Amino acid sequence: MAVLIDPPSWPAHGTVFSHLVSTSSLAELHAFAEAAGLPRRAFDQDHYDVPAQRYDDLVERGAQEVDGASLVRALLASGLRVPARRRPAKLRSALVSRWNALVPDSPALGHELLDRWDEPDRSYHTRTHLLAVLEALDGLLTDDDDAARDQILLAAWFHDAVYRGVAGDDERASAELARDRLQARLGADATAEVERLILLTRSHDPAPEDRSGQLLCDADLSVLGGTPPEYERYRTAVRREYAHIPDEEFVLGRAAVLRRLLALDPLFSTKAAQDRWAEQARLNLTAELASLEAAGAS
């Protein structure tokens, strides 16, 4: 049992904030916060937002200092994490905070990307999907990935920034957008790596030695391993995005996608993703394919 705090780095209200979490229970977290004089209004479902001026005092009171990534992993492991994608009112602000932590000198670019992800003709490839991919990466990235972390996260932000529902073309256009927006900021080599990662989301089949590609592809496919209700929401959203496609044509195309995914061996490349999502993902994919075949996709 422990209470953890990450460094103050999340900007809001003219200062920067830390997150205070428990590794075991909300009761422990609330008790610590009450003893420290933190107001309950600072609690946000699974953590307290703590202004920078309280950081040293909370550490002296026993909060353990960890980096942001370690705090997220500990919160996920505790089972207390409430994903931001389940907080619709805070979805954009949660993504803005993540962008500003990743690229603090380019807020306008972050808003441009969020506007793209919020285009009205999208049903699945939305800000909710973007945040789901970023949250999946929270649980997959380790300290050993620090050197590649920013490039992987930027590839996640850009990977469906251009979406017209044309497989292959969308990924190429998104990679070109990343090159246009990032080259002056990152340099040619880092930008080329972001482009390469984006293009991998066409096939989701990274090489065995491609750790960065494996992380991004696994995060992008994490939705496949959701609970049956979560998977049903995903399946329904995908159909809405292709509402212009007649049913018979959609069923044939969707069945082909499912067969390709089921043929990937492994479906998820990293051990962490395999442990979390692989079994449920194959159940979900197999059940959907069976329903499509019954509808005439064979």
Write the pLDDT tens digit of every residue in 220-270. Answer: 999 999 999 889 989 999 998 988 889 999 999 999 999 999 999 899 999
pLDDT at 119 over 60: yes
Q: Across the chain, what does the average pLDDT equal?
A: 92
Using an 8 Å Cβ cutoff, are 205 and 264 in contact? yes
pLDDT at residue 262, as a whole number:
95
pLDDT at residue 61, as a whole number:
96
Give pLDDT tens digits for 71-97. Answer: 989 998 888 887 766 666 678 888 999
Mean pLDDT, range 97-120, rounded to an integer: 94
Confidence of residue 45 (pLDDT cuts 50, 70, 90): confident
Separation of alpha carbons 298 and 290, rounded Å = 10
Distances, alpha carbon 15 to alpha carbons 9, 40, 92, 177, in Å? 9, 19, 19, 32
pLDDT at 298 over 60: no
Distances, alpha carbon 52 to alpha carbons 17, 18, 72, in Å? 5, 7, 19
pLDDT at residue 40, as a whole number:
87
Q: CA 169 from chain center: how many Å?
A: 22
Give pLDDT tens digits for 121-171. Answer: 899 999 999 999 999 999 999 999 999 999 999 999 999 999 987 878 999
pLDDT at residue 105, as a whole number:
93
Per-residue exposure over 222-234, b if at least 16 CB sit within 10 Å of its own CB, e if not: bbbbbeeeebeeb
pLDDT at 4 over 70: yes
pLDDT at residue 90, as a whole number:
74
Mean pLDDT, range 40-49, rounded to an integer: 88
pLDDT at residue 8, as a whole number:
93
Give pLDDT tens digits for 179-213. Answer: 999 999 999 999 999 999 999 999 999 999 999 99
Smallest CA-to-CA distance from 201 within 255, 152, 246, 237 is with: 152
pLDDT at residue 121, as a whole number:
87
What Rg, from alpha-carbon coordinates, does the chain have?
A: 20
What residues contact 265, with CB distance under 8 A and at least 6 apart?
A: none
Confidence of residue 297 (pLDDT cuts 50, 70, 90): low
pLDDT at residue 292, as a whole number:
92
Per-residue H/E/C for the chain: CCEEECCCCEEECCEEEEEEEECCCHHHHHHHHHHHCCCHHHECCCCEEEEHHHHHHHHHCCCEECCHHHHHHHHHHHCCCCCHHHCHHHHHHHHHHHHHHHCCCCHHHHHHHHHHHCCCCCCCCCHHHHHHHHHHHHHHCCHHHHHHHHHHHHHHHHCCCCCCCCCCHHHHHHHHHHHHHHHHHHCHHHHHHHHHHHHHCCCCCCCCCCHHHHHHHHHHCHHHHCCHHHHHHHHHHHHHHCCCCCHHHHHHHHHHHHHHHHHCCCCCCCHHHHHHHHHHHHHHHHHHHHHHHHHHHC
Per-residue exposure over 200-209, b if at least 16 CB sit within 10 Å of its own CB, e if not: bbeebebeee
What residues contact 77, with CB distance under 8 A and at least 6 apart?
A: 23
pLDDT at residue 87, as a whole number:
63
